[in-house]
Amino acid sequence: MGSVYVVGTFDTKGDELRYVAGLVSAAGLPVTTVNLGTTGDLGTAADASGADVAAGEVAAHHPGGRDAVATGDRGSAVAAMAAAFEAFTRVRAGDVSAMIGLGGSGGTALITPAMRALPIGVPKVMVSTVASGDVAAYVGPSDIAMLYSVTDVAGLNRISRQVLGNAAHAVAGMAANPVPAAADGRSALGLTMFGVTTPCVTRVSDLLSDDYDCLVFHATGTGGRSMEKLVGDGLIGGVLDISTTEVCDLLMGGVMSAGEGRLDAIAGTRVPYVGSCGALDMVNFGAMDTVPGKYRDRNLYPHNPQVTLMRTTPEENARIGGFIAGKLNACAGPVRFFIPEGGVSMIDAPGQPFHDPEADRVLFETLEREVRQTPDRRLIRRPEHINDPAFADALVAAFREIS
């Protein structure tokens, strides 16, 4: 068993961090305290905080060395220390049985990138003054538990002792009681789903569930990133990327982008990959009044009161096809990418609001033109709609072929 890492800026939050470390230690767990303060002398191997790992030792892990952290400017120093701590954590990951951090907005931004670098399943608790707001930027695709501090993390009082004590006991409990690994012997399989591709994904999952532990990810941006993090961590051994819709939001400014790195984990790990054009007919925005002005005259469809869908145009589909082709061309592992000629989503079908054969034609032809096909990387056209059972059956057959 490794240590529970108690991390934060000991120069400003030393009492609180020592209080948490003491409670975790009293629970019978080994503890390693790490100072992330940027106000002291970062050139020394030890500092006045008494932490097991001095700030200078962490700072030395920055690609530019300690001097890159010791800038004298709080903002740039905190950003540099965040990068240094992430690198430090990657080196120490094998010794981290759990991590708990305390901080305000700056401390939260400093600590959470390192938490995201830890594998899914390693307990991570962040006690933060900003945890009651939008924490997507801090949590990202990881399993960080955010706990609102209620009072500022600025001294021990009757409220902070209770909140910090609960957090300490929570992380101690998680570290002391690891979840047993699944014993059924099935490999994990990642699948991406959107509401408009649900029939396809459900059938694929049903057909494969006897042989694979099917993990379905909602393609809302975070879902795609979470799946790829698990692929990168070696926790998913194959992917059926049926709903690649997050690419539309990336390129057209929608609200459900998975970022420029979508598909990079597939290329980096060589996992068996079967993909398709699921929901590449739409860009996601919030309520109708949040749609950017430049898109107000487009084909808009209210999916629900909080989500408005915008139909992609032929020109946009050429960009989408080019982006996906470039990513597929970077994959050295086995790839099968399917084109559903009958439509790419539940509302891209005859009589449905996003039925646009010309837009689909441009998408499909761009993929065919730009994907460099090899024996291991193949583009496969099918006449069915994406939600036709025969299309799902073809995806399953292709995955069994390459896995």
- Secondary structure of 211-274 in HEC code, one letter for each residue: CEEEEEEECCCHHHHHHHHHHHCCCCCEEEECCCCHHHHHHHCCCCCCCCCCCHHHHHHCCCEE
pLDDT value of position 45: 65
Q: In the structure, what pLDDT confidence band is assigned to residue 100 with cuts at 50, 70 and 90?
A: very high
CA 352 to chain centroid: 32
CATH value at residue 133: 3.40.50.12020
Whether the CB-CB separation of 139 and 159 falls below 8 Å is answered with no
Please give the mean pLDDT across all residues of the chain: 94
Q: Do 169 and 238 have their domain in common?
A: no
Q: Do 153 and 281 have their domain in common?
A: no
Three-state helix/strand/coil letters over 308-327: EEEECCHHHHHHHHHHHHHH
Q: Do 169 and 280 have their domain in common?
A: no
Whether the CB-CB separation of 244 and 275 falls below 8 Å is answered with yes
Q: Among residues 136, 157, 176, which one ends one of the domains?
A: 176
pLDDT value of position 154: 85
Whether 182 maps to a domain, the answer reads no
CATH value at residue 307: 3.40.50.12030
- Tell me the H-state helices in 93-240: 105-117, 136-139, 158-176, 198-208, 222-232
Please state, as a whole number, how many other Cβ atoms lie within 10 Å of the Cβ of residue 387: 24
Q: In the structure, what pLDDT confidence band is assigned to residue 186 with cuts at 50, 70 and 90?
A: confident
Q: Do 267 and 378 have their domain in common?
A: yes
Judged against a pLDDT cut of 70, whether residue 190 lies above it is answered with yes
pLDDT value of position 185: 80
Number of alpha helices (DSSP H) and beta strands (DSSP E) in the chain = 13, 14
Judged against a pLDDT cut of 80, whether residue 230 lies above it is answered with yes
Task: Give the count of domains, the chain.
Answer: 2
The CA-based angle 253-258-263, given to 5 degrees, is 125
Judged against a pLDDT cut of 90, whether residue 88 lies above it is answered with yes
pLDDT value of position 74: 84
pLDDT value of position 42: 82
Judged against a pLDDT cut of 80, whether residue 239 lies above it is answered with yes
Exposed / middle / buried, residue 302 (Cβ in 10 Å: 0-12, 13-18, 19+): exposed
Cα dihedral 77, 81, 83, 86 in deg (nearest 10): -170
pLDDT value of position 43: 72
Q: Do 232 and 193 have their domain in common?
A: yes
Judged against a pLDDT cut of 80, whether residue 66 lies above it is answered with yes
Q: Among residues 176, 196, 218, which one ends one of the domains?
A: 176
Whether the CB-CB separation of 243 and 194 falls below 8 Å is answered with yes
Q: Do 116 and 240 have their domain in common?
A: no
The CA-based angle 27-32-37, given to 5 degrees, is 125
pLDDT value of position 148: 96
- Give the rounded percent of residues in the chain with a pLDDT score beyond 70: 99
Q: Do 48 and 171 have their domain in common?
A: yes
Q: Do 20 and 168 have their domain in common?
A: yes
Q: Coil, strand or helix: which one is 148?
A: strand
Q: Do 351 and 389 have their domain in common?
A: yes
Determine the structural domain holding residue 319 and report its residue range.
187-402
Per-residue model confidence as pLDDT tens digits over 348-401: 999 999 999 999 999 999 999 999 999 999 999 999 999 999 999 999 999 999
Q: Do 75 and 168 have their domain in common?
A: yes
Phi, psi of 322 (to 5 degrees): -65, -40
- What residues have CB less than 8 Å from 400, skipping those under 6 apart? none
Whether 181 maps to a domain, the answer reads no
- What would the mean pLDDT of 52-75 be, rounded to a whole number? 91
pLDDT value of position 30: 97
Q: Return the percent helix, strand and coil in the chain, to nearest 5.
A: 40, 20, 40
Q: Do 117 and 252 have their domain in common?
A: no
